Amino acid sequence: MRPESESEPERAPASVAVRFAWRFALCLALVLAATLRWGHALAEALLPLIAAEINALDNTYRIVALEVVQRGGEELIRIVVTLARCVVLPDGAHCADPRAQAQASTLLGHLTLPPTLAVAAVLAWPPASWREAAWRLPLLLVGLALLLALDVPMVLWASLWQLHVDAFAPGLFSPLLLWLDFVQSGGRMALGLVCAAGVLAAAHALAERGQVRRGVGG
C-alpha cells in the first residue's frame, strides 16, 4: 500500500474538478434563472445591433421586420426581408419581385445559451488573485460581444442565404452555410465554453505579467 502522502497529489485534481463542477452547476442555475427572467428584454435591446450587423455584412437584403415573436409556446427571433438587389450565385444573378418577402427565425434561447455557459464557467472558476478577478470583467464583456456577433446574426443571415442556395444552386459550397451547420449542431455550446476558457486564460496571463513587472520594478 502506498503512503498517504503519495496518494494526495493524485486525489487533488479530482477534488478540484468536483469542486468546480459543483460551483459551475450552481452558477449555471443562477445565470439561467436570470436569463429566463430578463432574456426577452435582452433580446429586444439587441435587435438593433443584430440588424446593424446583418446590414453591414450583406446589402442584398432590406430588413422589413426584426422582432421577438411567440409561436407554439416558444419565443423566436424572426427576421423578415425583401431583396434590395439581385442575388448573385455561380449560375448567374437572380432578381425576384422586390415586393416578395422572405423570413427566417431562431429560438430566443439560442441568443442566451452561449453567454450563459460562458458567464457560469467564468464565475465558477476561482481566481488566483484579485488582479486576475479584476481582469475577468472587461475580458468577459469582450468575449460576450464576440459570442453574440457570431451566433444569432450569422444564423439569421445564413438561413436567408440558404433559401436562395436551395432554390437556385443546391449543393453550392458556402463557408457561411458550413458555419450555420456547425452552430446548429452544438457548436454554440462549444463557443460559449471556448469563450470562457479564453477569458480565464487571458485574465490569468495578464495578472501574472503585471505581477512580474512589479517584481522587476521593485
Q: DSSP letters along the chain, please?
A: ---HHHHHHHHHHHHHHHHHHHHHHHHHHHHHHHHHHHHHHHHHHHHHHHHHHHHHH-TTEEEEEEEEEEETTEEEEEEEEEESSPEEETTEEE---TT--EEEEEEHHHHHHHHHHHHHHHHHSPPSSHHHHHHHHHHHHHHHHHHHHHSHHHHHHHHHHHHHHHHH-TT---HHHHHHHHIIIIIHHHHHHHHHHHHHHHHHHHHHHHHHHHHHH-
**Looking at residue 9, what is its pLDDT?**
53
**Looking at residue 160, what is its pLDDT?**
94
**Looking at residue 149, what is its pLDDT?**
97
**Looking at residue 2, what is its pLDDT?**
45
**Looking at residue 215, what is its pLDDT?**
54
Instruction: Kindly give the confidence (pLDDT) of every residue in the chain, 218 residues in length, as a single tens digit, with 9 standing for 90 and above.
Output: 344 444 545 556 678 788 889 999 999 999 999 999 999 999 999 999 999 999 999 988 999 999 999 998 899 999 999 988 888 777 777 787 778 899 999 999 999 999 999 999 999 999 989 999 999 999 999 999 999 999 999 999 999 999 988 888 888 888 999 999 999 999 999 999 999 999 999 999 999 886 655 554 54
**Looking at residue 98, what is its pLDDT?**
74
**Looking at residue 90, what is its pLDDT?**
73
Q: How many CA atoms lie within 13 A of 59 on its CB side?
A: 2
